[in-house]
Structure 1
Amino acid sequence: MARQELARFLRERRAALRPREPALPAGPPRRTPGLRREEVAELAHMSVDYYTRLEQARGPRPSPRILDALAQALRLTPAERSHLFRLAGTSAPPPASGVVRRVRPHVARMLRRLPDTGAVVTDATYGVVAWNPLAQALLGDHLATGTVNLARRRFLGGGAVRESSGTEEFGHIAVARLRRAADRYPHDPRLAALLAELHAGSEEFRRLWETRPVHAPGHRTKTIDHPTAGRLRLNCDVLLVPEDDQEVVLITADPGSPSARTLSRLTAEARPGAEARPTAKTQPRTRAEPTAEA
């Protein structure tokens, strides 16, 4: 966390504002331009002491919720908001509006360049929005329907491939991510419908939801029972697409292992010339390059 730079940025943005916010109470005449510290604190719904310590480079690392509140109070542009999060030492989640279900063209192209690695892109609700041929061979042809959600499959069943626990149970990971999504996108109707479906259909999901699990994306291992290839021990590594709140999951096996040999065979059997595919709803133009999110 760059405390001095963060403090300077907050002071500069506060000084650049004019007191035209109708929610601000009338006060004494102003001797300097910009808002007062207490006015920013009121607009951001935080204590004056806490905000003052941030401006004086004495405060703790602010949480994403605090940073979002400051971004709104200081009327930051999207670029300034991202800069604020970087100064605080964290990645900026997208503004809370709705789940991004489109895949950027450069992400789709990256999937095509990984023929020997299974790769899927999931949105903030664990909906699969893009995949490559090896991932389809591993996870099943039902990916082509464009409606697969890994959290729904985990808790409600479906699909021929069965997964067993590895370094961390996927149910715990899925609930942690869905909780984050619920906080960020409280008005997304498809997310609300998914959560209602999971709460109604899975006692395990309800139990995990109440534990409020926390998970940071990274590396894990898992074992799957493939209907034709048998049991495979796989590595899953996550690359973040923070601007869209999406994750690219890379699926590999330990070099020289039986699972690695099976992956090589599945790669060779994948249909020739296949490309990374977005879901049909997110890309009406071509299969190769989905439309970038505006």
Structure 2
Amino acid sequence: MDRNELAAFLRSRRERITPADVGLPAGTRRRTPGLRRDEVAQLTFISTEYYTRLEQGRAPRPSREVLAGLARALRLSDAERDHLHHLAGAPPGPPPGPSREVRQSILDLLQRLPQAAAIVTSALLEVIAWNDLAAALMEDFSAVPRRDRNLVRRVFLGPHPGGRRLFGVSDADEFASTSTRRLRATAARYPDDPELTELVAELRAGSEEFARLWDSHDVAGQHPMRKSFQHPLVGLVTVNCDVLDITDRDQQVVIYTADPGSPSEEALRLLSVIGTQRMTPTR
């Protein structure tokens, strides 16, 4: 345990967070640029005296529970969380659940692909980032609750408007099988994640198909290189499907592109103009 480095690191992380960042009132008589020590202690569920001793380099080694509380209270990134554990002499274990934090460079990349529909999925198959063309082709993800952005839940439990399973994609049945295998592998990496446990229980209870696939214990699967979407406005859109792994976040970037000069390219071009609006005639 490197007490001095740990103390300096905690001070630096505390001073960069404002009360508003963690839902606390700022007040008018605040001397510190960030949170106060007692506020961090309150958020971590430890005594102010103990936290003060940590910042002064006088405290005994904190437990893993305290370290986890500090990581949450100080809004640490995955790299900062690992660094905190190493400074405390307690090498980090596996993360409690899949990361939903998308790097800014990846978010920027999505917006630099104006002729491609692109999404980012977490290890739970939740769509956690997307560009405008993906929203127009698949669904306006910003308009649905977070739970409904999960593609595994969507393919097995719906909704299926107009009989269109998973946005009317041609390989919905194949995706159901592949996504179950991916989820089975994810469960092995994050055995203690309550959100994953709840998702699997919901799917097993609501879908006989999922229960059958889950009980097969298969974990390998191939990504389709080509698929078609049956879109309600522009009709059939056939695209190439490329998947890029973001290994440090356990995420994937999925990019859909149409062949140059094809009717599907024209359809995507039209969707980029239409966006997510629904051109329904008015009476």
Please state which band the TM-score falls in when normalised by the shorter chain.
0.5 to 0.7
Match of 1:103? 102
Q: Given the two structures, how large is their TM-score scaled by the length of structure 1?
A: 0.56
The root-mean-square deviation of aligned C-alpha atoms, in Å, is 2.4
Listed one character per residue, the Cα deviations across residues 230-284 of structure 1 (whole Å, up to 9, x for unaligned) are: 122222110011001000000112222211110111123338xxxxxxxxxxxxx
* Aligned counterpart for 1:164 among listed residues 163, 170, 176: 170
Distance verdict in 2 for CA 1:144–1:103, change over 3 Å: farther
Residue 204 in structure 1 maps to residue 209 in structure 2: yes
CA contact (8 A) 1:176 1:215 kept: yes
Match of 1:277? none
Q: CA deviation at 1:158?
A: 1.8
- Specify every segment of 5 or more residues in structure 1 that has no aligned partner in the other structure, as ranges: 1-77, 80-93, 272-294
Listed one character per residue, the Cα deviations across residues 1-42 of structure 1 (whole Å, up to 9, x for unaligned) are: xxxxxxxxxxxxxxxxxxxxxxxxxxxxxxxxxxxxxxxxxx
1:3-42 correspondence runs (5 A): none
Number of residues paired by the alignment?
Answer: 180
Partner Cα distance (2:258, 2:144) in 1: 26
Choose 240-249 or 208-217, whichever is displaced more.
Answer: 208-217
Match of 1:73? none
CA contact (8 A) 2:185 2:219 kept: no
1:21-170 correspondence runs (5 A): 95-145=94-144, 147=146, 148-158=149-159, 160=161, 161-165=167-171, 169-170=174-175
Question: Which structure's relative contact order is higher, taking Cα pairs within 8 Å and 6+ residues apart?
Answer: 1
Match of 1:233? 238
Partner Cα distance (2:122, 2:141) in 1: 18
CA contact (8 A) 2:181 2:217 kept: yes
2:225 aligns to what SS in structure 1?
strand
- Specify every segment of 5 or more residues in structure 2 that has no aligned partner in the other structure, as ranges: 1-81, 84-92, 162-166, 277-283
Partner Cα distance (2:207, 2:224) in 1: 26
Choose 151-160 or 102-111, whichever is displaced more.
Answer: 151-160
Match of 2:40? none
Partner Cα distance (2:130, 2:160) in 1: 16
CA contact (8 A) 2:121 2:251 kept: yes
Q: Given the two structures, how large is their TM-score scaled by the length of structure 2?
A: 0.58
2:215 aligns to what SS in structure 1?
helix
**Residue identity in the other structure for 1:155:** F
Distance verdict in 2 for CA 1:142–1:130, change over 3 Å: closer
Distance verdict in 2 for CA 1:219–1:165, change over 3 Å: closer
Percent of aligned pairs with the same amino acid: 45
Listed one character per residue, the Cα deviations across residues 83-122 of structure 1 (whole Å, up to 9, x for unaligned) are: xxxxxxxxxxx93421111111111111111111100000
Please identify runs of 4+ aligned residues in structure 1 that moved more than 4 A: 216-219
1:171-210 correspondence runs (5 A): 171-210=176-215
Match of 1:252? 257
Match of 2:43? none
Q: CA deviation at 1:216?
A: 5.3
